[in-house]
Chains A and B, each alone.
Chain A
Amino acid sequence: MRESTASPLTKRKSSKRWTIHLFPIPALIIYGMFVLYPILAALSYSFFEWRGMARGDFIGFRNFVTLFTTEPYGSMFWNAFKHNILYFVVQMVVMNGVAFFLAFIIYQKIKGAEFFKAAFFLPRLLSVIVVGFLWKLILNPNFGTLNVLLEKLGLETLQKAWLGDPGTALIAIILVNCWFGLGFGVLIFLAGFQGIPGELIEAAKLDGAKGLTLLRTIYLPLMVPSIMIMGILTFIQSFEAFELVYAMQGSMGEPYYSTDTLAVFFYRLAFGSSTASGTTAIGLGSALATVLFLFILICTTVFLRFANKKDVQM
Protein backbone atom coordinates (compact mmCIF):
# COMPACT_ATOMS: atom_id res chain seq x y z
CA MET A 1 0.00 0.00 0.00
CA ARG A 2 0.94 3.64 -0.20
CA GLU A 3 1.64 3.81 3.48
CA SER A 4 4.84 1.80 3.08
CA THR A 5 6.43 4.61 1.13
CA ALA A 6 4.99 7.42 3.22
CA SER A 7 6.91 9.21 5.94
CA PRO A 8 6.30 8.12 9.55
CA LEU A 9 4.13 11.16 10.21
CA THR A 10 1.64 10.59 7.40
CA LYS A 11 1.65 6.92 8.20
CA ARG A 12 0.39 7.66 11.68
CA LYS A 13 -2.15 10.05 10.27
CA SER A 14 -3.65 7.59 7.82
CA SER A 15 -3.93 4.90 10.46
CA LYS A 16 -5.83 7.44 12.57
CA ARG A 17 -8.07 8.20 9.65
CA TRP A 18 -9.05 4.56 9.52
CA THR A 19 -9.71 4.15 13.23
CA ILE A 20 -12.26 6.96 13.26
CA HIS A 21 -14.69 4.56 11.59
CA LEU A 22 -14.64 2.43 14.75
CA PHE A 23 -16.26 5.25 16.73
CA PRO A 24 -19.91 4.60 15.87
CA ILE A 25 -19.57 0.81 15.98
CA PRO A 26 -20.31 0.10 19.69
CA ALA A 27 -23.47 2.23 19.64
CA LEU A 28 -24.55 0.65 16.35
CA ILE A 29 -24.07 -2.89 17.62
CA ILE A 30 -26.01 -2.39 20.85
CA TYR A 31 -28.76 -0.38 19.17
CA GLY A 32 -28.96 -2.77 16.23
CA MET A 33 -29.09 -5.89 18.36
CA PHE A 34 -31.56 -4.74 20.99
CA VAL A 35 -33.78 -2.24 19.16
CA LEU A 36 -33.71 -2.71 15.39
CA TYR A 37 -33.37 -6.49 15.25
CA PRO A 38 -36.18 -7.31 17.75
CA ILE A 39 -38.73 -5.05 16.08
CA LEU A 40 -37.95 -6.45 12.63
CA ALA A 41 -37.93 -10.00 13.97
CA ALA A 42 -41.30 -9.40 15.65
CA LEU A 43 -42.72 -8.43 12.26
CA SER A 44 -41.37 -11.59 10.64
CA TYR A 45 -42.56 -13.84 13.49
CA SER A 46 -46.15 -12.96 12.67
CA PHE A 47 -45.94 -14.97 9.45
CA PHE A 48 -44.93 -18.23 11.16
CA GLU A 49 -46.67 -20.90 13.14
CA TRP A 50 -45.54 -21.13 16.77
CA ARG A 51 -45.59 -23.91 19.33
CA GLY A 52 -44.54 -22.34 22.60
CA MET A 53 -41.22 -20.65 21.92
CA ALA A 54 -40.39 -22.84 18.91
CA ARG A 55 -40.93 -21.50 15.41
CA GLY A 56 -42.80 -23.72 12.93
CA ASP A 57 -43.75 -23.32 9.26
CA PHE A 58 -44.35 -20.17 7.26
CA ILE A 59 -48.13 -19.69 7.20
CA GLY A 60 -48.56 -16.33 5.47
CA PHE A 61 -51.31 -14.16 6.89
CA ARG A 62 -53.06 -16.91 8.83
CA ASN A 63 -52.15 -15.44 12.26
CA PHE A 64 -53.70 -12.14 11.21
CA VAL A 65 -56.87 -13.87 9.99
CA THR A 66 -57.15 -15.79 13.27
CA LEU A 67 -56.56 -12.65 15.31
CA PHE A 68 -59.43 -10.80 13.69
CA THR A 69 -61.94 -13.56 12.92
CA THR A 70 -61.67 -15.99 15.84
CA GLU A 71 -63.28 -15.40 19.21
CA PRO A 72 -62.35 -14.26 21.77
CA TYR A 73 -59.42 -12.58 19.98
CA GLY A 74 -61.46 -10.49 17.55
CA SER A 75 -63.69 -8.87 20.13
CA MET A 76 -60.76 -8.49 22.55
CA PHE A 77 -58.84 -6.58 19.91
CA TRP A 78 -61.61 -4.07 19.23
CA ASN A 79 -62.43 -3.78 22.93
CA ALA A 80 -58.81 -2.90 23.72
CA PHE A 81 -58.51 -0.66 20.66
CA LYS A 82 -61.49 1.42 21.82
CA HIS A 83 -59.82 1.82 25.22
CA ASN A 84 -56.59 3.04 23.59
CA ILE A 85 -58.58 5.61 21.61
CA LEU A 86 -60.26 6.80 24.81
CA TYR A 87 -56.82 6.91 26.46
CA PHE A 88 -55.61 9.23 23.72
CA VAL A 89 -58.68 11.48 23.60
CA VAL A 90 -58.96 11.97 27.37
CA GLN A 91 -55.24 12.68 27.68
CA MET A 92 -55.35 15.19 24.83
CA VAL A 93 -58.33 17.02 26.29
CA VAL A 94 -57.71 16.80 30.04
CA MET A 95 -53.93 16.50 30.42
CA ASN A 96 -52.78 18.61 27.48
CA GLY A 97 -55.67 21.05 27.86
CA VAL A 98 -54.88 21.74 31.51
CA ALA A 99 -51.12 21.75 30.78
CA PHE A 100 -51.62 24.34 28.05
CA PHE A 101 -53.59 26.61 30.34
CA LEU A 102 -51.10 26.21 33.21
CA ALA A 103 -48.21 27.01 30.88
CA PHE A 104 -50.07 30.11 29.73
CA ILE A 105 -50.52 31.22 33.35
CA ILE A 106 -46.85 30.67 34.20
CA TYR A 107 -45.90 32.56 31.03
CA GLN A 108 -47.78 35.59 32.45
CA LYS A 109 -44.90 35.89 34.97
CA ILE A 110 -46.73 34.93 38.14
CA LYS A 111 -44.92 34.82 41.47
CA GLY A 112 -43.42 31.46 42.40
CA ALA A 113 -43.32 30.26 38.81
CA GLU A 114 -40.31 28.03 39.47
CA PHE A 115 -42.02 26.39 42.43
CA PHE A 116 -45.19 25.67 40.46
CA LYS A 117 -43.24 24.23 37.54
CA ALA A 118 -41.38 21.89 39.90
CA ALA A 119 -44.61 20.95 41.73
CA PHE A 120 -46.41 19.98 38.50
CA PHE A 121 -43.37 18.06 37.37
CA LEU A 122 -42.59 16.08 40.52
CA PRO A 123 -44.95 13.10 39.83
CA ARG A 124 -43.10 12.50 36.56
CA LEU A 125 -40.05 11.34 38.55
CA LEU A 126 -41.82 8.41 40.15
CA SER A 127 -41.70 4.99 38.58
CA VAL A 128 -44.97 4.21 36.79
CA ILE A 129 -45.28 1.17 39.00
CA VAL A 130 -45.06 3.36 42.12
CA VAL A 131 -47.66 5.71 40.62
CA GLY A 132 -49.97 2.77 39.94
CA PHE A 133 -49.69 1.28 43.41
CA LEU A 134 -49.91 4.63 45.18
CA TRP A 135 -53.15 5.49 43.40
CA LYS A 136 -54.47 1.99 43.97
CA LEU A 137 -54.19 2.70 47.68
CA ILE A 138 -55.70 6.18 47.31
CA LEU A 139 -58.65 4.81 45.30
CA ASN A 140 -59.25 1.88 47.65
CA PRO A 141 -63.01 1.73 48.41
CA ASN A 142 -62.63 1.25 52.20
CA PHE A 143 -59.52 3.02 53.44
CA GLY A 144 -58.55 5.01 50.35
CA THR A 145 -57.98 8.73 50.74
CA LEU A 146 -60.37 9.76 47.99
CA ASN A 147 -63.48 8.16 49.46
CA VAL A 148 -62.60 9.35 52.97
CA LEU A 149 -62.08 12.84 51.61
CA LEU A 150 -65.47 12.74 49.87
CA GLU A 151 -67.07 11.64 53.14
CA LYS A 152 -65.51 14.51 55.07
CA LEU A 153 -66.80 16.93 52.45
CA GLY A 154 -70.28 15.47 52.83
CA LEU A 155 -70.25 13.99 49.35
CA GLU A 156 -70.87 10.34 50.32
CA THR A 157 -73.09 9.89 47.28
CA LEU A 158 -70.02 10.22 45.06
CA GLN A 159 -68.11 7.46 46.85
CA LYS A 160 -67.30 4.53 44.61
CA ALA A 161 -65.19 1.46 44.24
CA TRP A 162 -63.31 3.40 41.57
CA LEU A 163 -61.17 0.58 40.26
CA GLY A 164 -63.71 -2.20 40.86
CA ASP A 165 -66.47 -0.66 38.79
CA PRO A 166 -66.20 -1.29 35.01
CA GLY A 167 -67.81 2.12 34.49
CA THR A 168 -65.09 4.11 36.24
CA ALA A 169 -61.96 1.92 36.26
CA LEU A 170 -60.58 2.89 32.86
CA ILE A 171 -61.24 6.59 33.25
CA ALA A 172 -59.63 6.48 36.71
CA ILE A 173 -56.47 4.95 35.25
CA ILE A 174 -56.33 7.48 32.43
CA LEU A 175 -56.72 10.35 34.91
CA VAL A 176 -53.88 8.89 37.01
CA ASN A 177 -51.81 8.92 33.83
CA CYS A 178 -52.76 12.58 33.35
CA TRP A 179 -51.58 13.31 36.90
CA PHE A 180 -48.28 11.65 36.05
CA GLY A 181 -47.65 13.39 32.72
CA LEU A 182 -49.10 16.86 33.36
CA GLY A 183 -45.85 18.61 34.32
CA PHE A 184 -44.07 17.41 31.21
CA GLY A 185 -46.77 18.98 29.05
CA VAL A 186 -46.55 22.24 31.01
CA LEU A 187 -42.81 22.47 30.29
CA ILE A 188 -43.22 21.74 26.58
CA PHE A 189 -45.99 24.32 26.19
CA LEU A 190 -44.12 26.86 28.30
CA ALA A 191 -41.09 26.51 26.04
CA GLY A 192 -43.46 27.08 23.12
CA PHE A 193 -44.87 30.27 24.65
CA GLN A 194 -41.41 31.56 25.47
CA GLY A 195 -40.33 30.97 21.87
CA ILE A 196 -42.92 33.39 20.50
CA PRO A 197 -41.27 36.66 19.41
CA GLY A 198 -42.21 39.47 21.79
CA GLU A 199 -42.83 41.99 18.97
CA LEU A 200 -45.79 39.96 17.71
CA ILE A 201 -47.48 40.13 21.09
CA GLU A 202 -46.73 43.86 21.44
CA ALA A 203 -48.20 44.59 18.02
CA ALA A 204 -51.37 42.64 18.83
CA LYS A 205 -51.71 44.44 22.16
CA LEU A 206 -51.38 47.80 20.41
CA ASP A 207 -54.25 46.71 18.20
CA GLY A 208 -56.29 46.30 21.38
CA ALA A 209 -56.27 42.50 21.66
CA LYS A 210 -56.56 41.29 25.25
CA GLY A 211 -57.03 38.22 27.41
CA LEU A 212 -58.88 35.43 25.69
CA THR A 213 -58.94 37.20 22.32
CA LEU A 214 -55.18 37.48 22.44
CA LEU A 215 -54.91 33.81 23.42
CA ARG A 216 -57.18 32.67 20.58
CA THR A 217 -55.98 34.87 17.74
CA ILE A 218 -52.26 35.20 18.47
CA TYR A 219 -51.02 32.55 20.88
CA LEU A 220 -52.99 29.55 19.68
CA PRO A 221 -51.87 29.67 16.03
CA LEU A 222 -48.25 30.25 17.07
CA MET A 223 -48.42 27.36 19.50
CA VAL A 224 -49.35 24.82 16.82
CA PRO A 225 -45.80 23.31 16.76
CA SER A 226 -45.84 22.58 20.52
CA ILE A 227 -49.38 21.22 20.29
CA MET A 228 -48.29 18.95 17.44
CA ILE A 229 -45.31 17.64 19.44
CA MET A 230 -47.46 16.90 22.47
CA GLY A 231 -50.09 15.36 20.20
CA ILE A 232 -47.62 12.90 18.70
CA LEU A 233 -45.98 12.03 22.02
CA THR A 234 -49.39 11.52 23.65
CA PHE A 235 -50.53 9.39 20.72
CA ILE A 236 -47.53 7.04 20.85
CA GLN A 237 -47.71 6.81 24.63
CA SER A 238 -51.48 6.14 24.59
CA PHE A 239 -51.15 3.26 22.15
CA GLU A 240 -48.25 1.77 24.12
CA ALA A 241 -50.11 2.04 27.46
CA PHE A 242 -49.18 -0.98 29.54
CA GLU A 243 -47.48 -0.41 32.91
CA LEU A 244 -50.22 1.52 34.68
CA VAL A 245 -52.97 -0.90 33.67
CA TYR A 246 -50.78 -3.86 34.58
CA ALA A 247 -49.88 -2.40 37.98
CA MET A 248 -53.40 -1.36 38.89
CA GLN A 249 -55.60 -3.97 37.22
CA GLY A 250 -53.36 -6.90 36.31
CA SER A 251 -52.76 -8.62 32.98
CA MET A 252 -56.50 -9.26 32.49
CA GLY A 253 -57.44 -5.57 32.47
CA GLU A 254 -59.89 -6.10 35.29
CA PRO A 255 -62.75 -5.81 35.96
CA TYR A 256 -64.02 -7.86 33.01
CA TYR A 257 -61.43 -6.51 30.53
CA SER A 258 -62.88 -3.02 31.07
CA THR A 259 -59.36 -1.55 31.32
CA ASP A 260 -57.71 -3.77 28.72
CA THR A 261 -55.39 -2.07 26.23
CA LEU A 262 -53.68 -3.42 23.11
CA ALA A 263 -50.30 -3.66 24.85
CA VAL A 264 -51.82 -5.59 27.79
CA PHE A 265 -53.64 -7.88 25.34
CA PHE A 266 -50.32 -8.35 23.55
CA TYR A 267 -48.62 -9.23 26.83
CA ARG A 268 -51.28 -11.88 27.53
CA LEU A 269 -50.78 -13.41 24.09
CA ALA A 270 -47.00 -13.41 24.30
CA PHE A 271 -46.49 -14.46 27.91
CA GLY A 272 -49.77 -16.08 28.90
CA SER A 273 -52.19 -14.92 31.53
CA SER A 274 -53.05 -16.13 34.96
CA THR A 275 -56.21 -17.90 33.77
CA ALA A 276 -56.71 -21.57 32.97
CA SER A 277 -56.05 -21.03 29.28
CA GLY A 278 -52.67 -19.59 30.18
CA THR A 279 -50.94 -20.82 27.05
CA THR A 280 -48.83 -18.44 25.05
CA ALA A 281 -49.68 -17.58 21.47
CA ILE A 282 -46.53 -16.08 20.02
CA GLY A 283 -47.89 -16.10 16.46
CA LEU A 284 -51.01 -14.16 17.39
CA GLY A 285 -49.03 -11.88 19.69
CA SER A 286 -46.60 -11.07 16.88
CA ALA A 287 -49.48 -10.42 14.50
CA LEU A 288 -50.96 -8.01 17.03
CA ALA A 289 -47.54 -6.36 17.51
CA THR A 290 -47.25 -5.92 13.73
CA VAL A 291 -50.71 -4.37 13.43
CA LEU A 292 -50.06 -2.03 16.33
CA PHE A 293 -46.59 -1.08 15.08
CA LEU A 294 -47.86 -0.28 11.58
CA PHE A 295 -50.81 1.64 13.01
CA ILE A 296 -48.53 3.83 15.15
CA LEU A 297 -46.04 4.27 12.30
CA ILE A 298 -48.66 5.21 9.69
CA CYS A 299 -50.55 7.58 11.98
CA THR A 300 -47.43 9.43 13.12
CA THR A 301 -46.08 9.65 9.56
CA VAL A 302 -49.36 11.06 8.24
CA PHE A 303 -49.43 13.45 11.17
CA LEU A 304 -45.86 14.62 10.53
CA ARG A 305 -46.56 15.09 6.83
CA PHE A 306 -49.60 17.15 7.70
CA ALA A 307 -47.50 19.11 10.18
CA ASN A 308 -44.76 19.75 7.63
CA LYS A 309 -47.32 21.00 5.11
CA LYS A 310 -48.44 23.50 7.69
CA ASP A 311 -44.82 24.62 7.86
CA VAL A 312 -44.20 23.28 11.30
CA GLN A 313 -40.79 22.26 12.51
CA MET A 314 -40.26 19.23 14.68
Chain B
Amino acid sequence: MKQGAIWVRPFYYLVVFTVATISLYPILLMILSSFKKSVDIYKDPLGFPTSFSLDTYRTLLSKIPFTTYFMNSIFVSIVSVVLIVVVCSLASFYIARFKFSWNHALFFIFLLGMMIPIKLGIVPLFILMRDLGLVNSLWALILMNTATGIPLSMLILTGFFKTMPYELEEAARIDGAGNLRVLWHVVLPLMRPALGTVVIINFIAAWNDFFFPLIFITEKMKRTIPVGMMSLFGEHSADWGSLFAGLTLASLPMILLFFIASKQFMEGLTAGAIK
Protein backbone atom coordinates (compact mmCIF):
# COMPACT_ATOMS: atom_id res chain seq x y z
CA MET B 1 0.00 0.00 0.00
CA LYS B 2 2.71 2.47 1.04
CA GLN B 3 4.71 1.67 -2.10
CA GLY B 4 1.72 2.62 -4.19
CA ALA B 5 1.55 5.99 -2.49
CA ILE B 6 5.17 6.73 -3.35
CA TRP B 7 4.84 6.57 -7.13
CA VAL B 8 1.24 7.74 -7.37
CA ARG B 9 1.88 11.45 -6.74
CA PRO B 10 4.79 11.83 -9.21
CA PHE B 11 2.72 9.91 -11.75
CA TYR B 12 -0.16 12.36 -11.27
CA TYR B 13 2.17 15.31 -11.84
CA LEU B 14 3.66 13.66 -14.90
CA VAL B 15 0.18 13.26 -16.39
CA VAL B 16 -1.01 16.81 -15.72
CA PHE B 17 2.27 18.30 -16.96
CA THR B 18 2.16 16.28 -20.18
CA VAL B 19 -1.44 17.20 -20.94
CA ALA B 20 -0.91 20.85 -20.00
CA THR B 21 2.01 20.95 -22.44
CA ILE B 22 -0.16 19.50 -25.19
CA SER B 23 -2.86 22.07 -24.38
CA LEU B 24 -0.57 25.09 -24.27
CA TYR B 25 2.18 24.31 -26.78
CA PRO B 26 0.13 24.86 -29.97
CA ILE B 27 -1.07 28.23 -28.66
CA LEU B 28 2.45 29.24 -27.67
CA LEU B 29 3.71 28.09 -31.06
CA MET B 30 1.06 30.22 -32.74
CA ILE B 31 2.10 33.35 -30.86
CA LEU B 32 5.85 32.77 -31.26
CA SER B 33 5.59 31.94 -34.96
CA SER B 34 3.65 35.14 -35.56
CA PHE B 35 6.88 37.06 -34.89
CA LYS B 36 8.93 34.99 -37.33
CA LYS B 37 9.52 35.57 -41.01
CA SER B 38 7.95 32.93 -43.24
CA VAL B 39 11.40 31.79 -44.41
CA ASP B 40 12.45 31.14 -40.82
CA ILE B 41 9.29 29.17 -40.17
CA TYR B 42 10.03 26.91 -43.13
CA LYS B 43 13.67 26.49 -42.09
CA ASP B 44 13.07 25.83 -38.42
CA PRO B 45 9.40 25.56 -37.40
CA LEU B 46 10.22 24.78 -33.76
CA GLY B 47 12.85 27.39 -33.05
CA PHE B 48 12.27 30.55 -31.10
CA PRO B 49 12.11 33.73 -33.15
CA THR B 50 15.64 35.10 -33.54
CA SER B 51 14.45 38.68 -33.42
CA PHE B 52 11.08 40.03 -32.45
CA SER B 53 9.81 41.94 -35.43
CA LEU B 54 6.29 43.08 -36.16
CA ASP B 55 6.76 42.72 -39.93
CA THR B 56 4.31 39.84 -40.16
CA TYR B 57 1.66 41.99 -38.52
CA ARG B 58 2.36 44.85 -40.89
CA THR B 59 2.06 42.53 -43.89
CA LEU B 60 -1.13 41.08 -42.47
CA LEU B 61 -2.75 44.49 -42.04
CA SER B 62 -1.79 45.44 -45.59
CA LYS B 63 -3.32 42.25 -46.97
CA ILE B 64 -6.68 42.20 -45.25
CA PRO B 65 -8.77 44.98 -43.66
CA PHE B 66 -8.24 43.49 -40.22
CA THR B 67 -9.21 46.66 -38.36
CA THR B 68 -12.61 46.62 -40.06
CA TYR B 69 -13.13 42.95 -39.18
CA PHE B 70 -12.10 43.72 -35.63
CA MET B 71 -14.55 46.62 -35.30
CA ASN B 72 -17.31 44.49 -36.84
CA SER B 73 -16.63 41.73 -34.33
CA ILE B 74 -16.61 44.19 -31.44
CA PHE B 75 -19.86 45.80 -32.56
CA VAL B 76 -21.65 42.49 -33.10
CA SER B 77 -20.44 40.98 -29.82
CA ILE B 78 -21.24 43.99 -27.65
CA VAL B 79 -24.68 44.70 -29.08
CA SER B 80 -25.58 40.99 -28.90
CA VAL B 81 -24.56 40.79 -25.25
CA VAL B 82 -26.47 43.97 -24.33
CA LEU B 83 -29.60 42.72 -26.11
CA ILE B 84 -29.39 39.33 -24.40
CA VAL B 85 -28.94 40.88 -20.97
CA VAL B 86 -31.91 43.22 -21.48
CA VAL B 87 -34.44 40.77 -22.94
CA CYS B 88 -33.41 37.89 -20.66
CA SER B 89 -33.48 40.03 -17.51
CA LEU B 90 -37.03 41.09 -18.32
CA ALA B 91 -38.20 37.60 -19.24
CA SER B 92 -36.52 35.73 -16.39
CA PHE B 93 -37.78 38.32 -13.88
CA TYR B 94 -41.28 37.54 -15.14
CA ILE B 95 -40.80 33.78 -14.96
CA ALA B 96 -38.98 33.63 -11.62
CA ARG B 97 -40.79 36.31 -9.59
CA PHE B 98 -44.40 35.86 -10.67
CA LYS B 99 -46.57 32.80 -10.43
CA PHE B 100 -48.72 32.84 -13.53
CA SER B 101 -50.03 29.43 -14.48
CA TRP B 102 -48.18 29.40 -17.82
CA ASN B 103 -44.77 30.28 -16.43
CA HIS B 104 -43.63 26.66 -16.25
CA ALA B 105 -44.53 26.04 -19.86
CA LEU B 106 -42.90 29.29 -20.92
CA PHE B 107 -39.67 28.40 -19.15
CA PHE B 108 -39.72 24.95 -20.72
CA ILE B 109 -40.12 26.45 -24.21
CA PHE B 110 -37.10 28.67 -23.64
CA LEU B 111 -35.00 25.77 -22.36
CA LEU B 112 -35.96 23.63 -25.33
CA GLY B 113 -33.64 25.82 -27.36
CA MET B 114 -30.62 24.17 -25.74
CA MET B 115 -31.55 20.89 -27.45
CA ILE B 116 -32.31 22.38 -30.86
CA PRO B 117 -29.50 22.02 -33.42
CA ILE B 118 -30.20 25.45 -34.90
CA LYS B 119 -27.76 25.03 -37.80
CA LEU B 120 -30.28 22.64 -39.34
CA GLY B 121 -32.73 25.54 -39.67
CA ILE B 122 -30.30 27.55 -41.77
CA VAL B 123 -32.33 27.41 -45.00
CA PRO B 124 -35.50 28.97 -43.54
CA LEU B 125 -33.26 31.40 -41.66
CA PHE B 126 -31.54 32.45 -44.85
CA ILE B 127 -34.89 33.03 -46.59
CA LEU B 128 -36.14 34.93 -43.53
CA MET B 129 -33.06 37.16 -43.42
CA ARG B 130 -33.33 37.76 -47.16
CA ASP B 131 -36.97 38.82 -46.79
CA LEU B 132 -36.07 41.10 -43.87
CA GLY B 133 -33.30 42.63 -46.00
CA LEU B 134 -30.69 41.57 -43.45
CA VAL B 135 -28.38 39.52 -45.66
CA ASN B 136 -24.99 41.24 -45.50
CA SER B 137 -26.09 43.16 -42.44
CA LEU B 138 -24.37 42.85 -39.08
CA TRP B 139 -27.84 42.89 -37.53
CA ALA B 140 -28.46 39.40 -38.91
CA LEU B 141 -25.55 38.20 -36.77
CA ILE B 142 -26.70 40.19 -33.75
CA LEU B 143 -30.19 38.72 -33.95
CA MET B 144 -28.81 35.19 -34.34
CA ASN B 145 -26.41 35.58 -31.42
CA THR B 146 -29.21 36.96 -29.28
CA ALA B 147 -31.70 34.26 -30.24
CA THR B 148 -29.27 31.38 -29.74
CA GLY B 149 -27.97 32.88 -26.48
CA ILE B 150 -31.41 33.21 -24.91
CA PRO B 151 -31.98 29.60 -23.69
CA LEU B 152 -28.82 29.25 -21.59
CA SER B 153 -29.04 32.84 -20.34
CA MET B 154 -32.65 32.26 -19.27
CA LEU B 155 -31.60 29.14 -17.38
CA ILE B 156 -28.84 30.98 -15.51
CA LEU B 157 -30.80 34.17 -14.73
CA THR B 158 -34.04 32.44 -13.76
CA GLY B 159 -32.12 30.10 -11.46
CA PHE B 160 -30.44 33.05 -9.79
CA PHE B 161 -33.64 35.13 -9.50
CA LYS B 162 -35.32 32.28 -7.66
CA THR B 163 -32.66 32.24 -4.95
CA MET B 164 -33.13 35.91 -4.09
CA PRO B 165 -35.19 36.99 -1.07
CA TYR B 166 -38.42 38.88 -1.76
CA GLU B 167 -38.17 41.31 1.17
CA LEU B 168 -36.21 44.08 -0.56
CA GLU B 169 -38.45 43.90 -3.55
CA GLU B 170 -41.56 44.17 -1.40
CA ALA B 171 -40.17 47.13 0.48
CA ALA B 172 -39.66 48.92 -2.82
CA ARG B 173 -43.17 48.03 -3.97
CA ILE B 174 -44.72 49.44 -0.82
CA ASP B 175 -42.85 52.66 -1.61
CA GLY B 176 -44.75 52.65 -4.88
CA ALA B 177 -42.10 51.45 -7.31
CA GLY B 178 -43.32 49.86 -10.54
CA ASN B 179 -42.08 46.56 -11.96
CA LEU B 180 -39.46 48.13 -14.17
CA ARG B 181 -38.07 50.20 -11.31
CA VAL B 182 -38.01 47.20 -8.98
CA LEU B 183 -36.11 45.22 -11.58
CA TRP B 184 -33.69 48.00 -12.45
CA HIS B 185 -32.94 49.53 -9.03
CA VAL B 186 -33.47 46.66 -6.63
CA VAL B 187 -33.08 43.29 -8.29
CA LEU B 188 -30.49 43.75 -11.02
CA PRO B 189 -27.79 45.26 -8.78
CA LEU B 190 -27.96 42.08 -6.69
CA MET B 191 -27.67 39.93 -9.79
CA ARG B 192 -24.14 40.94 -10.74
CA PRO B 193 -22.54 37.47 -10.48
CA ALA B 194 -25.21 35.86 -12.67
CA LEU B 195 -25.13 38.75 -15.13
CA GLY B 196 -21.35 38.44 -15.31
CA THR B 197 -21.69 34.79 -16.25
CA VAL B 198 -24.26 35.60 -18.93
CA VAL B 199 -22.07 38.36 -20.36
CA ILE B 200 -19.00 36.12 -20.54
CA ILE B 201 -20.63 33.09 -22.18
CA ASN B 202 -22.41 35.15 -24.77
CA PHE B 203 -19.45 37.36 -25.52
CA ILE B 204 -17.24 34.34 -26.23
CA ALA B 205 -19.93 32.70 -28.35
CA ALA B 206 -20.56 35.88 -30.36
CA TRP B 207 -16.86 36.64 -30.81
CA ASN B 208 -16.04 33.14 -32.05
CA ASP B 209 -19.17 32.47 -34.11
CA PHE B 210 -18.30 31.32 -37.57
CA PHE B 211 -21.31 29.54 -39.05
CA PHE B 212 -23.81 32.39 -39.30
CA PRO B 213 -21.40 34.98 -40.71
CA LEU B 214 -20.30 32.34 -43.22
CA ILE B 215 -23.88 32.11 -44.50
CA PHE B 216 -25.22 35.64 -44.03
CA ILE B 217 -22.21 37.79 -44.88
CA THR B 218 -20.67 37.84 -48.35
CA GLU B 219 -19.58 41.48 -48.53
CA LYS B 220 -15.91 41.84 -47.71
CA MET B 221 -16.19 44.88 -45.44
CA LYS B 222 -19.00 43.33 -43.36
CA ARG B 223 -17.01 40.29 -42.28
CA THR B 224 -16.26 39.47 -38.68
CA ILE B 225 -12.86 38.10 -37.66
CA PRO B 226 -13.56 34.35 -38.03
CA VAL B 227 -14.78 34.73 -41.61
CA GLY B 228 -11.93 37.17 -42.25
CA MET B 229 -9.56 34.36 -41.22
CA MET B 230 -11.27 32.14 -43.78
CA SER B 231 -10.44 34.55 -46.62
CA LEU B 232 -6.93 35.12 -45.28
CA PHE B 233 -6.22 31.40 -45.48
CA GLY B 234 -7.92 31.11 -48.84
CA GLU B 235 -6.06 33.95 -50.54
CA HIS B 236 -2.69 34.24 -48.82
CA SER B 237 -1.96 30.70 -47.74
CA ALA B 238 1.73 30.82 -48.70
CA ASP B 239 2.85 33.43 -46.17
CA TRP B 240 2.87 31.49 -42.94
CA GLY B 241 4.19 34.37 -40.86
CA SER B 242 1.10 36.45 -41.59
CA LEU B 243 -1.17 33.44 -41.12
CA PHE B 244 0.11 32.94 -37.59
CA ALA B 245 -0.15 36.69 -37.00
CA GLY B 246 -3.80 36.60 -38.10
CA LEU B 247 -4.62 33.66 -35.84
CA THR B 248 -2.89 35.38 -32.93
CA LEU B 249 -4.74 38.67 -33.43
CA ALA B 250 -8.05 36.81 -33.71
CA SER B 251 -7.46 35.03 -30.39
CA LEU B 252 -5.64 37.67 -28.39
CA PRO B 253 -8.66 39.53 -26.97
CA MET B 254 -10.11 36.31 -25.53
CA ILE B 255 -6.75 35.12 -24.18
CA LEU B 256 -6.12 38.49 -22.48
CA LEU B 257 -9.61 38.57 -20.96
CA PHE B 258 -9.05 35.01 -19.76
CA PHE B 259 -5.87 36.05 -17.94
CA ILE B 260 -7.79 38.82 -16.19
CA ALA B 261 -10.79 36.72 -15.18
CA SER B 262 -10.02 33.02 -15.69
CA LYS B 263 -12.20 31.94 -12.77
CA GLN B 264 -15.27 33.74 -14.08
CA PHE B 265 -14.63 32.35 -17.56
CA MET B 266 -14.43 28.77 -16.37
CA GLU B 267 -17.44 29.10 -14.09
CA GLY B 268 -19.36 30.89 -16.82
CA LEU B 269 -18.82 28.39 -19.56
CA THR B 270 -19.75 25.43 -17.42
CA ALA B 271 -22.71 27.15 -15.77
CA GLY B 272 -25.26 25.54 -18.06
CA ALA B 273 -24.18 22.00 -17.37
CA ILE B 274 -23.70 22.22 -13.63
CA LYS B 275 -26.71 22.94 -11.48
Contacts and interface: CB of A to CB of B under 8 A. Distances in A.
Q: How many residues of B sit at the interface, in one of the four size bands?
A: 35 or more
A62 interface: no
B13 A110 contact: yes
B113 A31 contact: yes
Contacts of B6: none
B92 to A, nearest CB: 8
B13 A123 contact: no
Interface residues of A, number: 90
Given A138-B29, A145-B46, A187-B269, 17 more contacts: A20-B179, A27-B154, A30-B147, A38-B124, A42-B122, A105-B15, A116-B20, A118-B266, A120-B23, A126-B251, A130-B208, A133-B243, A135-B26, A136-B233, A187-B266, A229-B273, A293-B116
Please provide the 9 A-B residue pairs with the shortest distance between their CB atoms, ordered closest to farther: A38-B121, A34-B147, A41-B124, A127-B208, A27-B91, A289-B120, A23-B94, A27-B87, A24-B91
27 contacts: A26-B91, A27-B154, A30-B143, A34-B148, A36-B113, A41-B121, A41-B124, A42-B120, A42-B124, A106-B16, A108-B12, A118-B258, A120-B20, A121-B262, A122-B23, A122-B27, A125-B258, A125-B265, A127-B226, A133-B229, A143-B45, A145-B29, A148-B45, A182-B19, A184-B269, A210-B4, A266-B119
Interface of A: 16, 19-21, 23-24, 26-28, 30-31, 33-39, 41-42, 45, 53, 98, 101-102, 105-106, 108, 110, 114-130, 133-138, 143-145, 148-149, 152, 179, 182-184, 187-188, 191, 210-211, 229-230, 233, 236, 239-240, 242-243, 247, 263, 266, 270-271, 282, 285-286, 289, 292-293, 296-297, 300, 313
Interface of B: 1, 4, 8-9, 12-13, 15-16, 19-20, 22-24, 26-27, 29-30, 41-42, 45-46, 83, 86-88, 90-91, 93-95, 98, 106, 109-110, 113, 115-125, 127-128, 130, 143-144, 146-148, 150-151, 154, 178-180, 204, 207-211, 215, 225-227, 229-230, 233, 240, 243-244, 247, 250-251, 254-255, 258, 262, 265-266, 269-270, 273-275
